[in-house]
Amino acid sequence: MSIIRIDGGRRLSGSIPVHGAKNSVLPIMAAALLACGETVIHNCPNLSDVDAAIRILAHLGCTVAREGEKVYVDSKTLTRSDIPHDLMKEMRSSVIFLGAILARLGEAVLSMPGGCELGPRPIDLHLSALRAMGAEIEEDGGNIVCKAKKLHGCRINLALPSVGATENTMLAASRCEGTTIITNAACEPEIWDLQSYLRRLGVNVHGAGTPVVTIEGSIQKGSMEHWVIPDRIVAATYLACAAASGGSVELTGVMPGHLSTVTDVLGEMGCGLMLGENTIYISADKPRKAARPIETKPYPGFPTDAQPPIMAASLTAQGTTVFVENIFENRYRHVAELLRMGADIKTEGRVAIVSGVPRLHGAPITSTDLRGGASLLVAALGAEGVTEIAGVHHIDRGYDNIVAALESLGADILRLD
């Protein structure tokens, strides 16, 4: 077991690159199953979730290799259609392989996925979409058994703009006959990135970033390269770290337009921001103040994944900040740990009320999920004294060597194994 030890109170300063998006690279790795050739994925972060996806692809019979920030996937040798429970339980997004395997082989057997315990995240939207396209699906002893002699295009209206259901439907539709139209589709930038990859394969897909996505199934190219977009949640976390520490930091290799709701909030808190074409500069040398109420919503609203680190940055802001979590019901699991550091937070249902305190103090705390763990890092950087964070494996799922990144900005931080 590892812990991260932070001696807080140091102002962060310097420049740092933002690595590729976890929530983009995982569906693209699944989409590589459709290619029947080699895919080279660039800007691929070194994350435990990516490692889990590599193990899944290898189990399915693909040839997979990593070389620095590049991952090579050759799916010509795909032979298996099952993913066992021990691999599925490693990450929630493992269900994204369902549509691609079914479209390629005509059958797929998966167990129920794992991941952070943030409350119910049913996959019924994924299954109903695949059924509409002609799949026969049964649940057998905790496994999902899907079969389809031939998938066909159709119109699918999602009851909720689910990112995973939108992606799974796009993957399955890429190899089926006819045209598939997804309405009430998720609009996240990661959907656009998946569309970009599928277009490189020869799929006629358009509409990503809007509530209507249209896919005409066709795969024309077997081997190709793709560059993953930068991770907007990692960028939001680094901005929160700078704000909490009173630092001045430049992010490079970022897409500022993907972060407009986050930068708007930080600006209201009193941070100075300069947005370039691929850079964001933040200066937090002035006292922070409470922002307007922050409600998480599907993109382009305020992202639920950015709520924990921004909450941590607001703990010592003057005034009261109200958070309303509309996506996950258990998204406040980090609050109990922040209270141990002297935070003043009251929660009731989906609402959290943060009253700013003069200072936080270091404490032994534990990460219980990915973004909650990020919030603990943010809080520890701005606290007085030493904080030791356990449960680091959660943080490893979404941040590529964040300890070295923060150390490069001047943080007194150390990972102990």
Q: What is the pLDDT of residues 163-190, one digit of tens each?
A: 999 999 999 999 999 999 999 999 999 9
Do 300 and 214 have their domain in common? no
Do 174 and 263 have their domain in common? no
Higher pLDDT, 152 or 119: 152
Q: What are the backbone dihedrals phi and psi of residue 90, each rounded to the nearest 5 degrees, phi first?
A: -70, -30
Separation in Å, CA 182 to CA 185, 218, 233, 334:
6, 17, 26, 35
- Which structural domain range is residue 313 located in? 3-18+230-416
Q: What is the pLDDT of residue 116?
A: 46
Do 250 and 294 have their domain in common? yes
Higher pLDDT, 1 or 240: 240
| Percent of the chain whose predicted confidence (pLDDT) is above 70 | 97
Choosing from 204, 227, 250, the residue where a domain stops is 227
Do 153 and 302 have their domain in common? no
List 44, 116, 176, 241, catalytic entry: 116
Q: What are the backbone dihedrals phi and psi of residue 53, each rounded to the nearest 5 degrees, phi first?
A: -65, -35
Do 184 and 262 have their domain in common? no
Choosing from 227, 252, 271, the residue where a domain stops is 227
Choosing from 207, 227, 247, the residue where a domain stops is 227
Do 321 and 377 have their domain in common? yes
Do 261 and 213 have their domain in common? no
Do 127 and 151 have their domain in common? yes
- pLDDT over 80 at 82, yes or no: yes
Structural domains of the chain, count: 2
- Binding-site residues for UDP-N-acetyl-alpha-D-glucosamine: 92, 121-125, 305, 327
Q: What is the pLDDT of residues 37-50, one digit of tens each?
A: 999 999 999 999 99
Do 246 and 173 have their domain in common? no
Do 167 and 257 have their domain in common? no
Q: What is the pLDDT of residues 358-391, one digit of tens each?
A: 999 999 999 999 999 999 999 999 999 999 999 9
354: Cβ contacts below 8 Å, ≥ 6 apart: 290, 311, 314, 315, 317, 320, 321, 322, 323, 343, 344, 345
Read off the CATH number of the domain in which 206 is found.
Answer: 3.65.10.10
Do 174 and 242 have their domain in common? no
| Total-model pTM | 0.96
SS (H, E, C) 138-205: EEECCEEEEECCCCECCEEECCCCCHHHHHHHHHHHCCCECEEEEECCCCCHHHHHHHHHHHHHCCEE
Q: What is the pLDDT of residue 113?
A: 66
Do 203 and 240 have their domain in common? no
**Is 36 marked active-site?**
no
How many CB atoms lie under 10 A from the CB of residue 210? 12
Structure confidence at residue 222 as a pLDDT band (50, 70, 90): confident
